Structure 1
Amino acid sequence: MKNNSKDMAGHKSMDWYYQERGPQIEHPILFLHGFMGLSDDWQDVVDQLASNYRCIMPDLPGHGRSGFPIRREMITIQSVAEGIIALFDKLGIDKATVVGYSMGGRVALYTALHFPQRVQALVLESTGPGLEDEYERRVRTALDDDRAYHLRVQGLDTFLDDWYKAPLFESLNRHEDKLVRLKASRHIHNVEGLAAALQGLSTGRQPSLWDKLEQISVPTLLVCGALDHKFTRINRIMSEQIRLCEWKMIGDAGHNTHLEHPEAFTTTILRFFGERLHKP
Protein backbone atom coordinates (compact mmCIF):
# COMPACT_ATOMS: atom_id res chain seq x y z
CA MET A 1 0.00 0.00 0.00
CA LYS A 2 1.33 3.41 -0.94
CA ASN A 3 2.03 5.94 1.74
CA ASN A 4 2.05 9.67 1.10
CA SER A 5 3.52 11.91 3.76
CA LYS A 6 4.98 15.39 3.84
CA ASP A 7 7.07 16.84 6.63
CA MET A 8 9.93 19.17 7.44
CA ALA A 9 13.47 18.08 8.27
CA GLY A 10 15.43 20.71 10.14
CA HIS A 11 19.15 21.18 9.54
CA LYS A 12 21.06 24.19 10.81
CA SER A 13 19.12 27.25 9.61
CA MET A 14 17.38 25.45 6.75
CA ASP A 15 14.11 23.53 6.73
CA TRP A 16 13.79 20.72 4.22
CA TYR A 17 10.44 19.78 2.76
CA TYR A 18 10.22 16.19 1.60
CA GLN A 19 7.74 13.66 0.32
CA GLU A 20 7.82 10.00 1.25
CA ARG A 21 6.11 7.05 -0.39
CA GLY A 22 6.29 3.30 -0.10
CA PRO A 23 6.68 0.75 2.71
CA GLN A 24 8.51 2.19 5.69
CA ILE A 25 10.83 -0.75 6.26
CA GLU A 26 11.82 -1.62 2.69
CA HIS A 27 14.90 -0.57 0.72
CA PRO A 28 15.11 3.23 1.22
CA ILE A 29 15.94 5.31 -1.85
CA LEU A 30 16.68 9.04 -1.68
CA PHE A 31 15.99 11.03 -4.87
CA LEU A 32 17.84 14.32 -5.39
CA HIS A 33 16.63 16.69 -8.12
CA GLY A 34 18.73 19.07 -10.20
CA PHE A 35 18.97 22.85 -10.16
CA MET A 36 15.50 24.45 -10.34
CA GLY A 37 14.01 21.03 -9.67
CA LEU A 38 11.51 19.78 -7.11
CA SER A 39 10.66 16.60 -5.26
CA ASP A 40 7.66 16.33 -7.62
CA ASP A 41 10.01 15.81 -10.58
CA TRP A 42 10.46 12.18 -9.55
CA GLN A 43 6.77 11.22 -9.44
CA ASP A 44 6.71 9.29 -12.73
CA VAL A 45 9.67 7.22 -11.52
CA VAL A 46 8.43 6.78 -7.96
CA ASP A 47 5.01 5.65 -9.22
CA GLN A 48 6.77 2.56 -10.56
CA LEU A 49 8.87 1.94 -7.44
CA ALA A 50 6.72 2.78 -4.42
CA SER A 51 5.13 -0.65 -4.07
CA ASN A 52 8.50 -2.19 -3.18
CA TYR A 53 10.78 0.66 -2.15
CA ARG A 54 10.71 3.40 0.46
CA CYS A 55 11.11 6.53 -1.66
CA ILE A 56 12.15 9.86 -0.13
CA MET A 57 12.15 12.98 -2.32
CA PRO A 58 13.23 16.30 -0.75
CA ASP A 59 13.16 19.80 -2.14
CA LEU A 60 16.83 20.74 -1.79
CA PRO A 61 17.75 24.01 0.00
CA GLY A 62 16.71 27.10 -1.91
CA HIS A 63 14.20 25.11 -3.96
CA GLY A 64 10.44 24.73 -3.85
CA ARG A 65 8.94 24.42 -0.39
CA SER A 66 12.23 24.05 1.47
CA GLY A 67 13.71 26.88 3.46
CA PHE A 68 16.78 28.81 2.43
CA PRO A 69 19.39 30.89 4.25
CA ILE A 70 19.65 34.62 3.79
CA ARG A 71 23.34 34.39 2.92
CA ARG A 72 24.50 32.49 -0.15
CA GLU A 73 27.57 31.16 1.65
CA MET A 74 25.34 29.12 3.96
CA ILE A 75 24.40 26.80 1.08
CA THR A 76 27.39 24.60 0.24
CA ILE A 77 27.72 21.08 -1.04
CA GLN A 78 29.04 20.12 2.42
CA SER A 79 26.04 21.63 4.24
CA VAL A 80 23.61 19.88 1.89
CA ALA A 81 25.38 16.54 2.40
CA GLU A 82 25.13 17.08 6.15
CA GLY A 83 21.45 17.86 5.68
CA ILE A 84 20.96 14.52 3.93
CA ILE A 85 22.51 12.71 6.89
CA ALA A 86 20.29 14.70 9.27
CA LEU A 87 17.27 13.62 7.21
CA PHE A 88 18.39 9.98 7.38
CA ASP A 89 18.72 10.29 11.15
CA LYS A 90 15.28 11.87 11.43
CA LEU A 91 13.72 9.05 9.41
CA GLY A 92 15.62 6.28 11.17
CA ILE A 93 17.52 5.29 8.03
CA ASP A 94 20.91 3.67 8.58
CA LYS A 95 21.87 3.71 4.91
CA ALA A 96 20.09 4.26 1.61
CA THR A 97 20.55 4.14 -2.12
CA VAL A 98 20.95 7.70 -3.39
CA VAL A 99 19.70 8.68 -6.84
CA GLY A 100 20.83 12.11 -8.03
CA TYR A 101 20.24 14.07 -11.22
CA SER A 102 22.67 16.75 -12.46
CA MET A 103 23.26 19.06 -9.47
CA GLY A 104 21.64 16.42 -7.25
CA GLY A 105 24.05 13.86 -8.66
CA ARG A 106 27.02 15.97 -7.61
CA VAL A 107 25.54 16.16 -4.11
CA ALA A 108 24.96 12.38 -4.11
CA LEU A 109 28.55 11.71 -5.16
CA TYR A 110 29.92 14.08 -2.52
CA THR A 111 27.75 12.46 0.17
CA ALA A 112 28.91 8.97 -0.76
CA LEU A 113 32.54 10.04 -0.49
CA HIS A 114 32.20 11.92 2.80
CA PHE A 115 29.62 9.68 4.52
CA PRO A 116 30.32 6.26 2.94
CA GLN A 117 28.81 4.34 5.83
CA ARG A 118 25.37 5.88 5.08
CA VAL A 119 25.17 5.14 1.34
CA GLN A 120 24.28 1.67 0.07
CA ALA A 121 24.49 2.40 -3.66
CA LEU A 122 24.58 5.30 -6.11
CA VAL A 123 22.61 6.13 -9.23
CA LEU A 124 24.13 9.19 -10.91
CA GLU A 125 22.13 10.66 -13.77
CA SER A 126 23.69 13.17 -16.14
CA THR A 127 26.26 14.38 -13.66
CA GLY A 128 29.97 14.62 -13.01
CA PRO A 129 32.58 15.07 -10.27
CA GLY A 130 33.12 18.80 -10.80
CA LEU A 131 35.91 20.73 -12.50
CA GLU A 132 39.56 19.78 -12.09
CA ASP A 133 41.09 22.96 -13.48
CA GLU A 134 41.25 25.93 -11.09
CA TYR A 135 40.83 28.48 -13.88
CA GLU A 136 37.70 26.66 -15.12
CA ARG A 137 36.31 26.72 -11.58
CA ARG A 138 36.85 30.48 -11.34
CA VAL A 139 35.17 31.03 -14.72
CA ARG A 140 32.20 28.85 -13.75
CA THR A 141 31.85 30.59 -10.38
CA ALA A 142 31.74 33.99 -12.10
CA LEU A 143 29.23 32.67 -14.64
CA ASP A 144 26.88 31.33 -11.96
CA ASP A 145 27.20 34.54 -9.93
CA ASP A 146 26.21 36.45 -13.07
CA ARG A 147 23.28 34.10 -13.65
CA ALA A 148 22.13 34.61 -10.07
CA TYR A 149 22.31 38.39 -10.54
CA HIS A 150 20.15 38.23 -13.67
CA LEU A 151 17.70 35.91 -11.93
CA ARG A 152 17.25 38.45 -9.15
CA VAL A 153 16.99 41.42 -11.54
CA GLN A 154 14.95 39.96 -14.41
CA GLY A 155 12.75 37.59 -12.44
CA LEU A 156 11.88 33.93 -12.73
CA ASP A 157 9.95 33.90 -16.03
CA THR A 158 12.77 35.36 -18.10
CA PHE A 159 15.32 33.15 -16.35
CA LEU A 160 13.25 30.02 -17.03
CA ASP A 161 12.96 30.80 -20.73
CA ASP A 162 16.69 31.43 -21.04
CA TRP A 163 17.67 28.39 -18.97
CA TYR A 164 15.71 25.86 -21.00
CA LYS A 165 16.91 27.32 -24.30
CA ALA A 166 20.43 26.12 -23.47
CA PRO A 167 21.86 23.45 -25.82
CA LEU A 168 21.91 21.01 -22.89
CA PHE A 169 18.09 20.90 -23.00
CA GLU A 170 17.69 20.75 -26.78
CA SER A 171 16.05 17.32 -26.72
CA LEU A 172 13.73 18.34 -23.88
CA ASN A 173 12.33 21.08 -26.10
CA ARG A 174 11.00 18.36 -28.41
CA HIS A 175 8.68 17.25 -25.58
CA GLU A 176 6.62 20.43 -25.64
CA ASP A 177 3.88 19.24 -23.29
CA LYS A 178 6.40 18.11 -20.68
CA LEU A 179 8.38 21.33 -20.98
CA VAL A 180 5.24 23.45 -20.49
CA ARG A 181 4.35 21.51 -17.33
CA LEU A 182 7.93 21.69 -16.12
CA LYS A 183 8.11 25.47 -16.46
CA ALA A 184 4.73 25.90 -14.77
CA SER A 185 5.89 23.84 -11.78
CA ARG A 186 8.93 26.09 -11.33
CA HIS A 187 6.83 29.07 -10.29
CA ILE A 188 6.76 27.69 -6.75
CA HIS A 189 10.39 28.74 -6.35
CA ASN A 190 11.50 31.76 -4.36
CA VAL A 191 13.88 33.85 -6.47
CA GLU A 192 16.25 34.63 -3.59
CA GLY A 193 16.41 31.00 -2.52
CA LEU A 194 17.03 29.80 -6.05
CA ALA A 195 19.76 32.39 -6.61
CA ALA A 196 21.45 31.37 -3.34
CA ALA A 197 21.42 27.71 -4.42
CA LEU A 198 22.75 28.59 -7.88
CA GLN A 199 25.72 30.36 -6.34
CA GLY A 200 26.34 28.12 -3.35
CA LEU A 201 26.07 24.85 -5.28
CA SER A 202 27.88 26.10 -8.36
CA THR A 203 30.17 23.54 -9.96
CA GLY A 204 32.86 26.19 -9.62
CA ARG A 205 32.52 26.36 -5.84
CA GLN A 206 32.50 22.66 -5.07
CA PRO A 207 35.81 20.83 -4.75
CA SER A 208 36.74 18.59 -7.65
CA LEU A 209 36.02 14.94 -6.90
CA TRP A 210 37.82 13.50 -9.90
CA ASP A 211 40.80 12.33 -7.85
CA LYS A 212 38.51 10.60 -5.33
CA LEU A 213 36.43 8.45 -7.69
CA GLU A 214 38.55 5.38 -6.95
CA GLN A 215 37.49 5.69 -3.29
CA ILE A 216 33.84 4.94 -4.08
CA SER A 217 33.21 1.50 -2.62
CA VAL A 218 29.49 1.02 -3.31
CA PRO A 219 27.75 -0.25 -6.47
CA THR A 220 27.33 2.72 -8.80
CA LEU A 221 25.16 3.18 -11.87
CA LEU A 222 25.87 6.02 -14.28
CA VAL A 223 22.94 7.00 -16.51
CA CYS A 224 22.94 9.55 -19.29
CA GLY A 225 21.04 10.26 -22.48
CA ALA A 226 22.64 9.26 -25.77
CA LEU A 227 21.99 12.80 -27.04
CA ASP A 228 23.79 14.41 -24.09
CA HIS A 229 27.26 14.46 -25.60
CA LYS A 230 28.87 16.38 -22.74
CA PHE A 231 27.91 13.89 -20.05
CA THR A 232 28.39 10.90 -22.31
CA ARG A 233 32.03 11.92 -22.48
CA ILE A 234 32.24 12.59 -18.72
CA ASN A 235 30.50 9.31 -17.82
CA ARG A 236 32.82 7.31 -20.05
CA ILE A 237 35.81 8.57 -18.06
CA MET A 238 34.04 8.13 -14.71
CA SER A 239 33.12 4.53 -15.54
CA GLU A 240 36.81 3.70 -15.93
CA GLN A 241 37.68 5.07 -12.47
CA ILE A 242 34.81 3.86 -10.25
CA ARG A 243 35.37 0.23 -9.26
CA LEU A 244 31.85 -1.22 -8.94
CA CYS A 245 30.43 0.78 -11.81
CA GLU A 246 27.94 0.26 -14.61
CA TRP A 247 27.25 2.85 -17.30
CA LYS A 248 24.00 2.91 -19.26
CA MET A 249 22.89 5.27 -22.00
CA ILE A 250 19.22 5.85 -22.74
CA GLY A 251 18.51 6.24 -26.43
CA ASP A 252 16.81 9.32 -27.89
CA ALA A 253 17.22 11.18 -24.59
CA GLY A 254 19.18 14.25 -23.61
CA HIS A 255 20.19 15.63 -20.23
CA ASN A 256 16.99 14.93 -18.28
CA THR A 257 16.45 11.25 -19.01
CA HIS A 258 14.02 10.59 -16.15
CA LEU A 259 11.67 13.28 -17.45
CA GLU A 260 12.00 12.54 -21.16
CA HIS A 261 11.79 8.74 -20.81
CA PRO A 262 10.70 7.80 -17.27
CA GLU A 263 9.86 4.19 -18.17
CA ALA A 264 13.28 3.52 -19.68
CA PHE A 265 15.01 5.26 -16.78
CA THR A 266 13.07 3.25 -14.19
CA THR A 267 13.65 -0.03 -16.01
CA THR A 268 17.37 0.73 -16.06
CA ILE A 269 17.64 1.40 -12.34
CA LEU A 270 15.42 -1.55 -11.41
CA ARG A 271 17.68 -3.88 -13.37
CA PHE A 272 20.66 -2.42 -11.52
CA PHE A 273 18.96 -2.92 -8.15
CA GLY A 274 18.11 -6.51 -9.00
CA GLU A 275 21.59 -7.40 -10.20
CA ARG A 276 23.71 -5.46 -7.70
CA LEU A 277 21.62 -5.05 -4.55
CA HIS A 278 18.54 -7.18 -4.05
CA LYS A 279 15.40 -8.47 -5.65
CA PRO A 280 12.23 -6.88 -4.27
Structure 2
Amino acid sequence: MFATATDGTKLYYEMAGDSGSPILFIHEFGGNYDAWEPQMSQFARRHRCITYAARGYAPSDIPAGIDSYSQSIAVDDAIAVLDAAGIDKAHIVGLSMGGFTALHFGLKYTDRALSLTIAGAGYGCEKETADYFRGVSLTVADKFEEDPVAFAEIYGRGASRVQFENKDPREHLKFVARLARHDKVGAANTMRGVQARRPSFWDLEDALKACTLPALIMVGDEDDHCLQPGIYLKKMMPASGLLILPKTGHTLNLEEPALFNQHLAEFIAMAEAGAWGLRDKRADPDQVMRTN
Protein backbone atom coordinates (compact mmCIF):
# COMPACT_ATOMS: atom_id res chain seq x y z
CA MET A 1 0.00 0.00 0.00
CA PHE A 2 1.14 3.54 -0.64
CA ALA A 3 0.42 6.89 0.99
CA THR A 4 0.93 10.18 -0.81
CA ALA A 5 2.91 12.93 0.92
CA THR A 6 2.03 16.60 0.52
CA ASP A 7 4.65 17.00 -2.23
CA GLY A 8 3.42 13.93 -4.10
CA THR A 9 6.09 11.52 -2.82
CA LYS A 10 4.76 7.95 -2.56
CA LEU A 11 5.37 6.26 0.80
CA TYR A 12 5.14 2.48 1.09
CA TYR A 13 3.46 1.17 4.24
CA GLU A 14 2.26 -2.11 5.69
CA MET A 15 -0.37 -2.91 8.31
CA ALA A 16 -0.89 -5.86 10.63
CA GLY A 17 -3.64 -6.55 13.14
CA ASP A 18 -7.27 -5.60 12.72
CA SER A 19 -8.32 -4.54 16.22
CA GLY A 20 -7.09 -2.48 19.14
CA SER A 21 -5.46 0.92 19.30
CA PRO A 22 -3.08 1.84 16.44
CA ILE A 23 0.72 1.91 16.73
CA LEU A 24 2.88 3.64 14.12
CA PHE A 25 6.49 2.41 13.94
CA ILE A 26 9.08 4.79 12.41
CA HIS A 27 12.47 3.33 11.46
CA GLU A 28 16.02 4.56 11.93
CA PHE A 29 18.52 5.63 9.26
CA GLY A 30 20.13 2.19 9.31
CA GLY A 31 16.83 0.36 8.96
CA ASN A 32 13.69 0.28 6.89
CA TYR A 33 10.06 -0.65 7.42
CA ASP A 34 10.96 -4.36 7.79
CA ALA A 35 13.32 -3.67 10.72
CA TRP A 36 10.20 -3.52 12.92
CA GLU A 37 9.21 -7.14 12.25
CA PRO A 38 9.75 -8.29 15.89
CA GLN A 39 7.37 -5.55 16.99
CA MET A 40 4.83 -5.90 14.18
CA SER A 41 4.47 -9.63 14.87
CA GLN A 42 4.09 -9.15 18.62
CA PHE A 43 1.87 -6.10 18.83
CA ALA A 44 -0.46 -7.04 15.96
CA ARG A 45 -2.02 -9.53 18.37
CA ARG A 46 -3.69 -6.69 20.26
CA HIS A 47 -3.14 -3.56 18.15
CA ARG A 48 -3.45 -2.21 14.64
CA CYS A 49 0.20 -1.83 13.62
CA ILE A 50 1.60 0.31 10.82
CA THR A 51 5.17 0.53 9.56
CA TYR A 52 6.44 2.40 6.52
CA ALA A 53 9.52 3.12 4.46
CA ALA A 54 10.64 6.72 4.85
CA ARG A 55 11.16 8.76 1.70
CA GLY A 56 14.51 7.79 0.23
CA TYR A 57 14.00 4.13 1.19
CA ALA A 58 12.65 1.69 -1.39
CA PRO A 59 9.93 0.81 -2.14
CA SER A 60 8.96 4.39 -1.22
CA ASP A 61 9.90 7.11 -3.70
CA ILE A 62 13.45 8.45 -3.65
CA PRO A 63 13.39 12.17 -4.42
CA ALA A 64 16.57 13.33 -6.13
CA GLY A 65 16.91 16.74 -4.46
CA ILE A 66 18.08 17.44 -0.92
CA ASP A 67 15.32 20.02 -0.43
CA SER A 68 12.83 17.13 -0.39
CA TYR A 69 14.36 15.89 2.89
CA SER A 70 14.10 17.51 6.32
CA GLN A 71 12.96 16.83 9.86
CA SER A 72 9.73 18.73 9.27
CA ILE A 73 9.03 16.83 6.05
CA ALA A 74 9.65 13.53 7.86
CA VAL A 75 6.96 14.43 10.41
CA ASP A 76 4.49 15.39 7.71
CA ASP A 77 5.20 12.07 5.98
CA ALA A 78 4.19 10.21 9.15
CA ILE A 79 0.90 12.10 9.12
CA ALA A 80 0.39 11.18 5.45
CA VAL A 81 0.77 7.50 6.33
CA LEU A 82 -1.77 7.72 9.15
CA ASP A 83 -4.18 9.55 6.87
CA ALA A 84 -3.82 6.94 4.13
CA ALA A 85 -4.43 4.19 6.68
CA GLY A 86 -7.56 5.98 7.91
CA ILE A 87 -6.17 6.45 11.42
CA ASP A 88 -6.90 9.55 13.46
CA LYS A 89 -4.65 8.91 16.47
CA ALA A 90 -1.88 6.42 17.18
CA HIS A 91 0.86 5.52 19.60
CA ILE A 92 3.99 6.84 17.86
CA VAL A 93 7.10 4.66 18.22
CA GLY A 94 10.43 5.66 16.68
CA LEU A 95 14.04 4.55 16.83
CA SER A 96 16.99 6.93 16.31
CA MET A 97 16.08 9.00 13.22
CA GLY A 98 12.57 7.68 13.77
CA GLY A 99 12.80 8.66 17.44
CA PHE A 100 13.46 12.26 16.40
CA THR A 101 10.44 12.06 14.11
CA ALA A 102 8.31 10.63 16.92
CA LEU A 103 9.30 13.49 19.21
CA HIS A 104 8.67 16.19 16.60
CA PHE A 105 5.39 14.48 15.70
CA GLY A 106 4.29 14.92 19.31
CA LEU A 107 5.32 18.57 19.34
CA LYS A 108 3.72 19.45 15.98
CA TYR A 109 0.69 17.15 15.88
CA THR A 110 -0.11 16.66 19.55
CA ASP A 111 -3.76 15.86 18.84
CA ARG A 112 -2.79 12.94 16.55
CA ALA A 113 -0.64 11.11 19.11
CA LEU A 114 -1.84 8.80 21.89
CA SER A 115 1.71 8.50 23.25
CA LEU A 116 5.35 8.87 22.19
CA THR A 117 8.12 6.28 22.39
CA ILE A 118 11.48 7.90 21.66
CA ALA A 119 14.18 5.23 21.44
CA GLY A 120 17.88 5.68 20.74
CA ALA A 121 17.51 9.36 19.86
CA GLY A 122 20.11 12.02 20.51
CA TYR A 123 22.89 11.99 17.91
CA GLY A 124 23.91 15.54 17.11
CA CYS A 125 22.05 17.04 20.07
CA GLU A 126 25.00 17.53 22.41
CA LYS A 127 26.33 21.02 21.78
CA GLU A 128 29.96 20.05 22.31
CA THR A 129 29.84 17.41 19.57
CA ALA A 130 27.28 19.04 17.23
CA ASP A 131 29.79 20.26 14.65
CA TYR A 132 31.59 16.91 14.68
CA PHE A 133 28.30 15.07 14.16
CA ARG A 134 27.32 17.23 11.20
CA GLY A 135 30.72 16.71 9.62
CA VAL A 136 30.55 12.95 10.11
CA SER A 137 27.01 12.91 8.70
CA LEU A 138 28.22 14.56 5.51
CA THR A 139 31.08 12.08 5.26
CA VAL A 140 28.67 9.17 5.77
CA ALA A 141 26.49 10.63 3.01
CA ASP A 142 29.49 10.67 0.67
CA LYS A 143 30.40 7.08 1.55
CA PHE A 144 26.91 5.73 0.93
CA GLU A 145 26.79 7.69 -2.31
CA GLU A 146 30.02 6.04 -3.45
CA ASP A 147 29.24 2.41 -2.56
CA PRO A 148 26.40 1.43 -0.18
CA VAL A 149 27.33 -2.26 -0.18
CA ALA A 150 30.95 -1.72 0.84
CA PHE A 151 30.17 1.02 3.36
CA ALA A 152 27.41 -1.01 5.03
CA GLU A 153 30.13 -3.31 6.41
CA ILE A 154 31.81 -0.31 8.06
CA TYR A 155 28.76 1.63 9.21
CA GLY A 156 27.10 -1.50 10.56
CA ARG A 157 29.96 -2.11 12.98
CA GLY A 158 30.18 1.31 14.58
CA ALA A 159 30.77 1.84 18.30
CA SER A 160 27.09 1.54 19.20
CA ARG A 161 26.37 -1.39 16.85
CA VAL A 162 28.98 -3.93 18.01
CA GLN A 163 26.82 -4.77 21.04
CA PHE A 164 24.20 -6.11 18.64
CA GLU A 165 26.78 -8.10 16.70
CA ASN A 166 28.18 -9.65 19.88
CA LYS A 167 24.75 -10.67 21.21
CA ASP A 168 23.12 -11.87 18.02
CA PRO A 169 25.50 -12.30 15.06
CA ARG A 170 22.82 -13.83 12.82
CA GLU A 171 20.38 -10.96 13.22
CA HIS A 172 23.22 -8.46 12.96
CA LEU A 173 24.13 -9.89 9.56
CA LYS A 174 20.54 -9.23 8.47
CA PHE A 175 20.90 -5.65 9.73
CA VAL A 176 24.07 -5.14 7.66
CA ALA A 177 22.38 -6.68 4.63
CA ARG A 178 19.52 -4.22 5.05
CA LEU A 179 22.05 -1.38 5.17
CA ALA A 180 23.63 -2.63 1.96
CA ARG A 181 20.27 -2.30 0.19
CA HIS A 182 20.08 1.43 0.94
CA ASP A 183 19.64 3.48 -2.20
CA LYS A 184 22.71 5.66 -2.63
CA VAL A 185 20.69 8.80 -3.46
CA GLY A 186 18.15 8.25 -0.72
CA ALA A 187 20.77 7.50 1.95
CA ALA A 188 22.92 10.50 1.00
CA ASN A 189 19.98 12.90 0.91
CA THR A 190 18.62 11.60 4.19
CA MET A 191 21.98 12.16 5.88
CA ARG A 192 22.44 15.63 4.40
CA GLY A 193 18.84 16.83 4.59
CA VAL A 194 17.55 15.26 7.81
CA GLN A 195 20.39 14.06 10.03
CA ALA A 196 22.83 16.94 9.50
CA ARG A 197 20.20 19.70 9.75
CA ARG A 198 17.81 18.64 12.52
CA PRO A 199 17.65 20.80 15.67
CA SER A 200 19.15 19.81 18.99
CA PHE A 201 16.82 18.84 21.84
CA TRP A 202 18.42 21.69 23.78
CA ASP A 203 16.91 24.11 21.23
CA LEU A 204 13.40 22.79 21.95
CA GLU A 205 13.23 23.41 25.71
CA ASP A 206 9.99 25.42 25.81
CA ALA A 207 8.18 23.05 23.47
CA LEU A 208 9.37 20.01 25.41
CA LYS A 209 8.18 21.44 28.70
CA ALA A 210 4.77 22.15 27.18
CA CYS A 211 4.33 18.60 25.82
CA THR A 212 2.16 16.60 28.22
CA LEU A 213 1.78 13.48 26.08
CA PRO A 214 2.78 10.21 27.78
CA ALA A 215 6.34 9.60 26.64
CA LEU A 216 8.71 6.67 27.05
CA ILE A 217 12.38 7.43 26.39
CA MET A 218 14.58 4.36 25.76
CA VAL A 219 18.37 4.38 25.63
CA GLY A 220 21.09 1.73 25.64
CA ASP A 221 23.77 2.36 28.25
CA GLU A 222 26.54 1.90 25.66
CA ASP A 223 24.88 4.26 23.20
CA ASP A 224 26.98 7.08 24.61
CA HIS A 225 25.74 10.02 22.56
CA CYS A 226 22.11 9.25 23.33
CA LEU A 227 22.49 8.97 27.13
CA GLN A 228 22.67 12.67 27.99
CA PRO A 229 20.02 13.64 25.42
CA GLY A 230 17.77 10.95 26.91
CA ILE A 231 18.27 12.32 30.42
CA TYR A 232 17.60 15.82 29.10
CA LEU A 233 14.29 14.74 27.57
CA LYS A 234 13.33 13.10 30.87
CA LYS A 235 14.02 16.33 32.73
CA MET A 236 12.15 18.52 30.26
CA MET A 237 9.07 16.44 29.34
CA PRO A 238 6.59 16.42 32.25
CA ALA A 239 4.93 13.08 31.44
CA SER A 240 8.02 11.13 30.45
CA GLY A 241 9.79 8.08 31.80
CA LEU A 242 13.35 7.01 31.05
CA LEU A 243 14.41 3.40 30.47
CA ILE A 244 18.12 2.57 30.17
CA LEU A 245 18.90 -0.95 28.99
CA PRO A 246 22.21 -2.37 30.33
CA LYS A 247 25.04 -3.54 28.08
CA THR A 248 23.06 -2.33 25.08
CA GLY A 249 23.87 -0.19 22.05
CA HIS A 250 21.84 1.72 19.51
CA THR A 251 19.73 -0.85 17.67
CA LEU A 252 17.39 -1.34 20.61
CA ASN A 253 14.38 -3.01 19.00
CA LEU A 254 16.50 -5.67 17.27
CA GLU A 255 19.29 -6.04 19.82
CA GLU A 256 16.91 -6.57 22.75
CA PRO A 257 13.52 -7.32 21.14
CA ALA A 258 12.01 -9.08 24.16
CA LEU A 259 12.89 -6.25 26.56
CA PHE A 260 11.85 -3.62 24.04
CA ASN A 261 8.48 -5.27 23.52
CA GLN A 262 7.91 -5.89 27.22
CA HIS A 263 8.49 -2.30 28.23
CA LEU A 264 6.64 -0.86 25.24
CA ALA A 265 3.60 -3.04 25.98
CA GLU A 266 3.56 -1.97 29.63
CA PHE A 267 3.94 1.68 28.70
CA ILE A 268 1.10 1.60 26.18
CA ALA A 269 -1.14 -0.20 28.66
CA MET A 270 -0.43 2.39 31.33
CA ALA A 271 -0.94 5.28 28.90
CA GLU A 272 -4.28 3.88 27.78
CA ALA A 273 -5.35 3.37 31.40
CA GLY A 274 -4.52 6.99 32.22
CA ALA A 275 -1.89 5.77 34.69
CA TRP A 276 1.13 7.38 32.99
CA GLY A 277 0.60 10.92 34.15
CA LEU A 278 2.57 14.06 34.81
CA ARG A 279 5.43 13.98 37.26
CA ASP A 280 4.23 14.54 40.81
CA LYS A 281 5.14 18.11 41.81
CA ARG A 282 6.41 16.78 45.13
CA ALA A 283 9.22 15.02 43.24
CA ASP A 284 11.23 18.24 43.23
CA PRO A 285 14.57 17.65 41.46
CA ASP A 286 16.16 20.41 43.55
CA GLN A 287 15.37 18.63 46.78
CA VAL A 288 17.91 16.20 48.21
CA MET A 289 16.13 15.37 51.49
CA ARG A 290 12.99 16.87 52.99
CA THR A 291 13.57 18.76 56.22
CA ASN A 292 10.16 20.24 57.03
Same structural fold, with TM-score higher than 0.5 when normalized by the shorter chain: yes
Alignment root-mean-square deviation, CA? 1.9
Larger mean CA deviation between 223-232 and 48-57 belongs to 223-232
Name stretches of at least 5 consecutive residues in structure 2 with no aligned partner. Answer: 275-292
Q: What one-letter code is carried by the residue in structure 1 that aligns with 2:149?
A: D
CA drift of 1:181 comes to 1.4
How many Å separate the matches in 2 of 1:132 and 1:167? 17
Q: Report the counterpart of residue 218 of structure 2 in structure 1.
A: 223
Q: Report the counterpart of residue 42 of structure 1 in structure 2.
A: 36
* Contact 1:36-1:194 at 8 Å conserved across structures: no
Name stretches of at least 5 consecutive residues in structure 1 with no aligned partner. Answer: 1-6
How many Å separate the matches in 1 of 2:247 and 2:57? 29
Q: Report the counterpart of residue 184 of structure 1 in structure 2.
A: 177
Q: What one-letter code is carried by the residue in structure 2 that aligns with 1:68?
A: I
Query: In the superposition, relative to structure 1, how do residues 143 and 226 fare at CA in structure 2: closer, same or farther (>3 Å)?
Result: closer
Q: Among residues 240, 243, 254, which one is paired with 1:245 in the alignment? A: 240
Higher Cα Rg: structure 1 or 2? 2
Q: What one-letter code is carried by the residue in structure 2 that aligns with 1:30?
A: L
Q: Among residues 76, 82, 86, which one is paired with 1:88 in the alignment? A: 82
What is the percentage of aligned positions where both structures have the same residue? Answer: 25
* Contact 1:37-1:63 at 8 Å conserved across structures: no
Q: Report the counterpart of residue 208 of structure 1 in structure 2.
A: 200
Q: Among residues 149, 160, 166, which one is paired with 2:158 in the alignment? A: 166
How many Å separate the matches in 2 of 1:63 and 1:36? 10
Equivalenced residues, count: 269
Q: Deviations over 1:91-114 (max 9, x none)?
A: 221111100000100011111111
SS where residue 216 of structure 2 aligns? strand
SS where residue 222 of structure 2 aligns? coil
Q: Deviations over 1:103-158 (max 9, x none)?
A: 1000111111111111110011111385364x8545433332222122212x0122
SS where residue 31 of structure 1 aligns? strand
What are the within-5 Å matches in structure 2 for residues 53-132 of structure 1?
53-128=47-122, 131=125
How many Å separate the matches in 2 of 1:235 and 1:132? 11
Scaled by the length of structure 2, what TM-score is found? 0.86
2:231 matches 1:236: yes
SS where residue 176 of structure 2 aligns? helix
Scaled by the length of structure 1, what TM-score is found? 0.89
* Contact 1:106-1:129 at 8 Å conserved across structures: no
SS where residue 48 of structure 1 aligns? helix
Q: Find runs of 4+ consecutive structure 1 residues off by over 4 angstroms.
A: 135-139
